[in-house]
Each structure stands twice: as structure tokens, then as C-alpha cells.
Chains A and B, each alone.
Chain A
Amino acid sequence: MRKRPSGPALIEIADATEATAAPDAGNANYIAAMIRNARAIAGRQADAGQAPEDIETAALKTLLGADGSLEDLNRALAHAIRAGNAPKGTHAHLTAVVRSELGESNPRYLSRLADDG
């Protein structure tokens, strides 16, 4: 499940930051890099669309043998893990979800992980 703020909310804070940024500030380069990063993450999320969360929801239904929204299913999984009742396949499921999110938040990190085997 994508971390908040995602998509439009990320673009909104990037736009607001750009509108009020002072170009001669000592940290102007840092601010500009953050704005680029936020827009890039939101752009990759928009490109991927609804598919990653649909896949995650379907995988959670199978893993938990239950129905519900993506958020409810993740909450049920979190409770099961804490209670020591994580269903078999939980680690593989979480790894797949995290890799999918990493592909949106930091694809370079994901490819470095792959290079490291």
C-alpha cells in the first residue's frame, strides 16, 4: 500500500514549495532536488496506475483467505504478524509489495539491490 502522501498530494506540496521558494536561498539546490524527486515519484505512480494496488489486494485475499479493502486487509495482516500468526507466504508477499513500491519511490535503489543479488 503506497505510503502517504502519494500521487496528487505529493505534487501539491511540491507545487506549493516551488511557489514559495526563494531562488537565492542557501539551500535552493536542495529544495529544487526535493521538488524534482516528489514529481518523479508521483509520475511513476501515475504511470503504474491502479495495477499495483489491485495486484496487492488480490494477493492479500489469497494470503489471508479473507475479503475487504486494501487498507483493511493490510490491517488484518499487520495484526496477524504482531500476534505471531503470520500466514505462510507472508515474507514473500511483503517482499513483492515492497519491491513494487520501491520501483516507484526509488528505482535506482531497487536496481542496486538486484545488482547485489
Chain B
Amino acid sequence: MAGNLTSDECARLTDWLAQQADAPVRILATERLSGGAIQENHRLEIDVAGGPWPGHHDLVLRRDAASAVATSHSRAEEFALLKAAHKAGVTVPAPCVLCADESLLGGPFFLMHCVTGEARGGRLVKNAPDAALVRALGANLAHIHSITPPGDGLDFLGPPPKDPARAAVAEYRAFLDALPDPHPAVEWGLAWLADHAPAPGDIVLCHRDYRVGNLMIDGGKLSATLDWEFAGWSDPLEDIGWFLAKCWRFGRWEEEAGGLGPRDAFLAGYEDASGGKIDPAAVTYWEVMAHVRWAVIALQQAWRHVSGEEPSLELALTAHVVPELEAEILAMTGEQS
């Protein structure tokens, strides 16, 4: 299962779509979209002749790629997350229908509406700073956080953690222990996080990769929240700290909300939509956590190259982002561990 949809796959898909739409369906065009080593996205233009959804539809079909690894949520789980998010008012590609029958395309897939825009952080930070945009990004995050355990159809996320900060510290220490080289600067950050862990608060649905790069922007407006593969129950401040962390500003450090606009506007948008107040000191804690988490992930990615598991220049270079993260961790934590 790889590459473009075959004519056989399109024929089976046409029949299945006609059943779903309760009307004749024609596939007008298909196109494999770029990106996605783990999931494949195909643009699918269809015409439905009657039934409850008549007319022309511009859709995206998402399925596992041939090289898929069983690390992230399944397509069925991702579809459930998209549905829950869409219902909660989060800006996402509207989910249409899931197909769990693997006989059609060799694996499960789902359809969602096609959304356009620019997601690349390096491009977006070249635009003028935009307080209204980051305000909307804050409000959008608050909508995600309005989803609370157990959620609707989200049982697969498992039980919510009792103490997300300490659970994260334990998890990242275990990840470091699985790597062969010692990393004392990252350990310094983890010791600080253990010493300064906040009392557990509310637990909500967190995206866990909510940052510039995973947000599609079209004409200065948010058009889609992408990449739900790490979503899970956590402290809402985890997402806020991740979004605001200096390592996700794509070099435009002075615009503290993802390099796109001012921090205050992002937090004001979040507070207005959630009705709650954000404690700035608590956000700082989770910004340290963000740098530590990214450092640990970067070291894991680099090790996939060094160990020979997956030779890749991109993975190899990820190791050399770590000193930047370590410098920020040491600057934020100061002398006293």
C-alpha cells in the first residue's frame, strides 16, 4: 500500500462512497499530497448525484503509509479525535466518514474536508506580527481544552494521569535511560522540573503538539489544527507552554506566541474563550518542560540514526539542535536546581 490510489482502489472506493452517500458517485480527480511518512493523504474530488450530500466535494483521504509504524494513534482513533474536536468548536478539517473495512484499500482510512493554507513555520514568521491571529490560536486551544475525560468515543486515550508534571518527568527520565550517552544538562532540567512541579490541577484533552508548524493558516486566519497523533489527557498548561516556548518561534524570538505575535494576545484569546485565568509563573514551568521534552525527543530521533535503525541526515542533524535547547533550559532554571 503506497503511492497513488490504483484504478482498482478507485473502483472499490467509488462503490463504497455511493453506499455512504446513498446516490451515484463519480471520482473526478485524485492526487497524493506531499508530506506524511507515516500517514498518506490523498486529495479526492468527487461528485455526488443526489442523496443527502448532493454536489461537488473536495475531500482528503487519509490512510497509513506503507512505512507506518505502530507508535501513534490509529486512523480510527484519529477520526474520533477529529470528531470530538470538531464538535467542541475547534478549527479542524471537518471529518466525514471512517472506513474500518480493510478490504477496500488494504487498511482503515477516513475522509475529511480539504482545507487550504500554509503550515510551514519558516514561511509564516516572515509575515507581519498578527495579534488577532495569535488571539484566535489561543481561543482555538481553549476549545480543545473544553473536552474533558472521559470524552465521547475517546476511551482509547486511557485513564487521565493523576499528576501530569511528575508523570512527564518520570517518562522523560526513562527515555534518557534507554539512550547510551549521558546528558547532564537535560538531567539538570528534569531535576528542576521535579523540584518545581505544580500541584495537579484540571485534566483536559491536550493536543500535545500544538505549535506553529501544525496549524494551517489561510489569509491570516486559522484554517486547520493538524497532527493529532500525540493527543492525550494532561494539564492544559502543557499545551500553552509548548506553544509559547522559545524553541517553537522559528527564529523570531521577540514574537513570543510561536513567532507570529505577542504572548499577551495569545493568552487573552485563551482566557476569553475558556473563562479562566492563566498564572504566568505556571506557564514558565511548562515552557521549561517543553524544551526538556523536545530535547529528549530530539536525542531519541538522533539515536534512530546513530544506532543504524533508520539512517537519515534529518535525524542526524536533530542531535545538533539539542545544545540550543540545553542553553535555554539552563538559562530558564538558574543556579539553584
Contact = CB atoms under 8 A, between A and B. Distances in A.
B188 A91 contact: yes
A113 B337 contact: no
B191 interface: yes
A78 B317 contact: no
Contact of A106 (B181, B324, B337): B324
A90 B333 CA distance: 12
A16 B303 CA distance: 18
Most buried by B among A37, A38, A95, A98: A98
A57 interface: no
Contacts of B314: 34
B323 interface: yes
A38 B313 contact: yes
Given A3-B319, A94-B185, 19 more contacts: A5-B305, A5-B306, A5-B319, A13-B313, A16-B313, A31-B313, A34-B313, A41-B317, A71-B181, A81-B191, A86-B188, A90-B184, A90-B188, A90-B337, A91-B337, A95-B327, A102-B323, A105-B324, A106-B324
27 contacts: A3-B181, A3-B302, A5-B305, A10-B316, A17-B313, A31-B313, A34-B313, A34-B314, A34-B317, A38-B317, A71-B181, A71-B182, A74-B184, A77-B182, A78-B183, A81-B188, A82-B191, A91-B188, A91-B334, A91-B335, A92-B335, A94-B184, A94-B326, A94-B330, A102-B323, A105-B323, A113-B327
Interface of B: 34, 173, 181-185, 187-188, 190-191, 253, 299, 302-303, 305-306, 311-314, 316-317, 319-324, 326-327, 330-331, 333-335, 337
Interface of A: 1, 3-5, 9-10, 13-14, 16-17, 26, 31, 34-35, 37-38, 41, 71, 74-75, 77-78, 81-82, 84, 86, 90-92, 94-95, 97-99, 101-102, 105-106, 109-110, 112-113, 116
